[in-house]
């Protein structure tokens, strides 16, 4: 982190040509500085620092790793930053492009065998390390989802059971007038399928609305273009399948109980 303090100076100082920098959009907005403006950059609060000219304002690539940190970034040409830091010819890291066909793991291994004071790592390994946070969040979401799916499943079972039991008297009347139990069972099952199907469609629409709201809210909160909630085809398939299977399963269970019960008991004269 280079940026210890920034002070806006709209005038340019004579005798020293300000070096160009690029500001990320949020920083530019915070400072009220735009392309062509000159600002003072210092390592310490109140330090002399140096003047730089804003050559560009850019929208940073959305990075979930720093979304809550709200770090603000400005970019120098490497020699300019090294000069500001007083550490010429010193860098944090090198990115290395390999010839086609060379394994990054082998190349990193070769470099590490002769390394002193640095470490080489394939990009994939670094990406894996830096995505650890998201793997944790993802595991947490999965655990929460299991609980939520459990609760929803029970709720669905309960509702479908009640929905079918609500038809006790209808079923009794149908039995009294000679309708076969099988016909009643199929009718109740179709009704359960209809309710579960309709519920799934409404549920998907609600989820889409909730996802849109979540994205709208968090994109505003963190001032980022990141997507926070998305309904993937896999999630869609899973949700619909679970609700249909549970809905129809519970409906079938309740309908079976109903058609096996004496119609007089169903009617309430048992």
Partner 1 sequence: MTWWRNLLRHPLRSALAVAGITVTTAMLLDMVLLGGGLERSFERLLLGRGYQIRVSPSGTLPFDTETTIPGAAALRLGLEADPEVTGVAPVLGASVFARAGDTLVAVFAYGIDPEVQAIYQPLSGSDLAAGDSLGVLLSAPAAARLGMAPGDTLVLVGRLDPQLATAAIERRLVVRGVARLLYDSRGQLSLVALLPVVQSLAGLREEDRVSAFVVRARSDDQADAVTARLRSAHPGIEVNSVTDMVRHFRERLVYFRQLSYILGSISLVVTVLLVTTLMTITVNERLGEIATLRAIGVSRATVVRSVMLEGATLTVVGGGLGIVLGLATARYLDAILTTFPGLPAAISFFVPEPDRLLLAGVVLFLAGVGAGVYPAIIAARAPIADTLRAEAT
Q: Which residues bind partner 1 (CB under 8 A)?
A: 1, 3-5, 44-46, 68-69, 115-118, 129, 132-133, 136, 139-140, 143-144, 147-148, 150-152, 154-155, 157-159, 161-162, 165-166, 218, 221, 268
Q: State which residue, 20 or 239, has the beta carbon closest to partner 1.
A: 239
CA distance 16 to 174: 96
CA distance 117 to 115: 6
CB of 69 to partner 1, least distance (A): 7
Q: State which residue, 102 or 143, has the beta carbon closest to partner 1.
A: 143
- The answer to whether 31 touches 72, Cβ cutoff 8 Å, is no
CB of 17 to partner 1, least distance (A): 27
44-75 as b/e: b if 16+ CB within 10 A: eeeeebbbbbbeebeebeeebeebeeeebebb
Q: 38: closest CA among 20, 52, 58?
A: 52
Q: State which residue, 81 or 159, has the beta carbon closest to partner 1.
A: 159
CB of 270 to partner 1, least distance (A): 13
CB of 164 to partner 1, least distance (A): 11
Q: State which residue, 15 or 86, has the beta carbon closest to partner 1.
A: 86
* Angle of the 104-114 helix axis to the 123-130 helix axis, nearest 10: 90
């Amino acid at each position: 982190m280079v940026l210890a303090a920034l002070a806006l100076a709209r005038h340019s100082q004579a005798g020293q040509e300000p070096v160009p920098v690029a500001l990320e959009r949020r920083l530019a907005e915070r400072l009220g500085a735009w392309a062509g403006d000159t600002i003072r950059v210092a390592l310490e609060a109140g330090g002399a620092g140096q003047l730089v000219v804003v050559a560009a304002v850019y929208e940073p690539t959305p990075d979930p790793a720093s979304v809550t940190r709200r770090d603000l970034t400005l970019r120098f040409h490497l020699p300019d930053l090294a000069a500001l830091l007083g550490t010429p010819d010193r860098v944090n890291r090198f990115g290395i492009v390999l010839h086609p066909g060379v394994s990054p793991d082998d190349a990193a291994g070769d470099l590490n065998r002769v390394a002193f004071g640095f470490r080489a790592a394939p990009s994939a390994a670094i990406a894996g390390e830096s995505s650890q946070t998201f793997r944790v969040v993802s595991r947490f979401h999965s655990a929460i989802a299991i609980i939520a799916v459990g609760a929803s499943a029970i709720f669905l079972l309960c509702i479908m059971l009640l929905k079918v039991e609500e038809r006790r008297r209808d079923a009794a009347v149908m039995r009294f007038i000679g309708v076969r139990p099988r016909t009643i069972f199929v009718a109740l099952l179709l009704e359960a399928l209809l309710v579960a199907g309709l519920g799934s469609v409404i549920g998907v629409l609600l989820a889409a609305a909730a996802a849109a709201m979540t994205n709208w809210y968090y994109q505003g909160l963190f001032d980022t273009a990141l997507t926070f909630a998305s309904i993937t085809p896999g999630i869609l398939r899973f949700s619909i399948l679970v609700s249909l299977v549970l809905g129809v399963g519970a409906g079938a269970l309740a309908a079976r109980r109903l058609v096996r019960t004496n119609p007089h008991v169903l009617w309430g004269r048992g």
